Chain A
Amino acid sequence: MSALAVQFEGVGKTYPHFTLDDINLELPTGSIMGFIGANGAGKSTTLRILMGLVHQDRGAVHVLGCEMPAQQAVAKRDIGFVSEDMRLYGAATLAWHMDFIRSIFPSWDQAYAETLLKRFDLKAEQKLKKVSHGQRVKAALLLALARRPRLLVLDEPTTGLDPVARHEVLHALMEALTDERRTILFSSQNTLDVEQISDQITFIDRGRIIDSADKETFLERWRRLRLDVPPAVTLPSLPGVVETTSSGRLAVVTMNGYEPSMAEVYHAAGVTVQAVDSMTLEEIFVVNVHNRRERSVA
């Protein structure tokens, strides 16, 4: 088995008003990647290319060892895909859909499907056009999860879910990873969800990947420092500083690539480091995107 479940090399796609460019991604088998981006950043386009639903103009895509889009029919037997605009038959019930999927995919796990039915608080006999958006999302997730696919590709799986449902969905995703041959790639605007369960994190903005690393590295690299800068002292410029704001003597420096030795540099310059705070993924994402956009304007 390939060590990489997903591999993108220099992938691009040009539309009249949007360009996805130079997408390089590597997702090791057995891990879970959270894909974070603002609206229109290119998350869904990337996932569609991965699924062979959109064909890239340039670059190579390999999924579960298959070349995409050429070998998509083979790859898709082992991929479960759920997206926002997924069409289920409104006139049919969830039970009908479950039978349908079971008839196509031999890997279908009926016992697990029934467990998820209870945990997701779904009614199998209800027609899908009568149910809420959240119920429909959960139904689509159930249909994908119960196939026990080797790769789950989920476009915004938690958007529009209430807190209880979100908790159940995140737990079901982690549960799928009990088997270390399985891999998950999911996009989300909810950085808390991503921060909680992802091993790998990728930020995308305006059609380009702006950062991709394992979560612990990500969180470890970013720090916000609160500094006391006496009037006669100039703040030394250090590498990796992304943002500096100051009011009076107090300055707040946000940096990517913090190391403890930096506190000594500040100290030597006469600056007191009052606090070194770690940042949430959301704070990191916002600063990162903001900074990139400002630089592209300048």
Chain B
Amino acid sequence: MHSDLVLSKSDGRPMYLQIMEQIKQRVAVGDWPRGEEIPSIRQLAVALSVSVITVKRAYLELEREGVIVTQHGKGSTVATDPSLEPRLYDQELDQHLDQAVRLGGLLGLAIEDLESRLHDAAGRWNQSTTTEEEES
């Protein structure tokens, strides 16, 4: 399977997290179909020019999360688990919320302030989607 993952060195996150995220995206959009074989650890490491151990770590964590299944000696496949995609979005949401809490902390905001900012954001979002509908 062709791997077209792109890693960024200016992205502050560790390389294995970037690999995990991009694999999850490919699984979420169906580029890497469920149950299908994915590149071996070594193949992906060579394709991306990153350490085998880094890709191995990404695969281990993805397996723990139930995104992929690795069979010893047989390589890895995308899991057939049907609850895969909602869970991916759940995780992404959690990551964004973590960031929001962290930034809120830096700005000295209380949780209540964050809540009201979230409501504001929801208001902005609703408005923008209704305007789009009116325009179309």
| A95-119 interface (Cβ within 8 A of B) | none
A178 B43 Cβ-Cβ under 8 A: yes
B49 A199 Cβ-Cβ under 8 A: no
A278 B49 Cβ-Cβ under 8 A: no
Q: Is A214 an interface residue (CB 8 A)?
A: yes
Once the chains are docked, how many angstroms separate the CA of A278 from the CA of B15? 12
B53 A174 Cβ-Cβ under 8 A: no
Once the chains are docked, how many angstroms separate the CA of A169 from the CA of B118? 49
A171 B49 Cβ-Cβ under 8 A: yes
A196 B50 Cβ-Cβ under 8 A: yes
B60 and chain A: residue at smallest CB distance: A216
Q: Is A31 an interface residue (CB 8 A)?
A: yes
Chain B residues positioned under 8 Å from A30 (CB to CB): 52
Q: Is the interface of A mostly helix, strand, loop or mixed?
A: mixed
Candidates A171, A192, A216; contact of B53 at CB < 8 Å: A216
Chain B residues positioned under 8 Å from A197 (CB to CB): 49-51
B53 A199 Cβ-Cβ under 8 A: yes
Residue of A180, A196, A214 contacting most chain B CB atoms (<10 Å): A196
A216 B57 Cβ-Cβ under 8 A: yes
B57 A31 Cβ-Cβ under 8 A: no
A174 B46 Cβ-Cβ under 8 A: yes
CB distance from B103 to the nearest CB of A (A): 10
Once the chains are docked, how many angstroms separate the CA of A278 from the CA of B67? 25
B53 A215 Cβ-Cβ under 8 A: yes
Q: Given contacts A219-B14, A275-B102, A278-B14, are A199 and B42 in contact (CB under 8 A)?
A: no
Chain A residues positioned under 8 Å from B102 (CB to CB): 275
Chain B residues positioned under 8 Å from A174 (CB to CB): 45-46, 49-50
A192 B52 Cβ-Cβ under 8 A: no
Interface string of A163-190 (1 = CB under 8 A from B): 0000100110011011010000000000
Interface string of A250-292 (1 = CB under 8 A from B): 0000000000000000000000101101100000000000000
Q: Given contacts A192-B9, A274-B105, A274-B106, are A215 and B46 in contact (CB under 8 A)?
A: no
Q: Is A198 an interface residue (CB 8 A)?
A: yes
| B91-115 interface (Cβ within 8 A of A) | 102, 105-106
Chain A interface residue count, Cβ-Cβ cutoff 8 angstroms: 26
B9 and chain A: residue at smallest CB distance: A192
CB distance from B21 to the nearest CB of A (A): 16
Once the chains are docked, how many angstroms separate the CA of A174 from the CA of B41? 12
Once the chains are docked, how many angstroms separate the CA of A174 from the CA of B53? 12
Once the chains are docked, how many angstroms separate the CA of A272 from the CA of B106? 10
Q: Is B25 an interface residue (CB 8 A)?
A: no
Once the chains are docked, how many angstroms separate the CA of A198 from the CA of B106? 35
| A197-218 interface (Cβ within 8 A of B) | 197-200, 214-216
B53 A170 Cβ-Cβ under 8 A: no
CB distance from A266 to the nearest CB of B (A): 14
Once the chains are docked, how many angstroms separate the CA of A175 from the CA of B52? 11
CB distance from A263 to the nearest CB of B (A): 12
CB distance from B95 to the nearest CB of A (A): 15
| B28-67 interface (Cβ within 8 A of A) | 42-43, 45-46, 49-54, 57
A177 B53 Cβ-Cβ under 8 A: no
A216 and chain B: residue at smallest CB distance: B57
Chain B residues positioned under 8 Å from A214 (CB to CB): 53
Q: Is A63 an interface residue (CB 8 A)?
A: no
- Can you list 6 A-B contacts (CB < 8 A)? A31-B53, A32-B52, A170-B49, A178-B42, A215-B51, A216-B54
10 nearest A-B pairs in the assembled complex, by CB-CB distance: A199-B53, A174-B46, A174-B49, A171-B49, A199-B51, A216-B57, A178-B46, A170-B49, A199-B52, A214-B53
16 additional A-B residue pairs with CB within 8 Å, beyond A177-B45, A199-B53, A216-B16: A30-B52, A31-B52, A178-B42, A178-B43, A192-B9, A196-B49, A196-B50, A197-B49, A197-B50, A197-B51, A200-B53, A214-B53, A215-B54, A216-B53, A274-B105, A278-B14
Interface residues of B (CB under 8 A from A): 9, 12-16, 42-43, 45-46, 49-54, 57, 102, 105-106
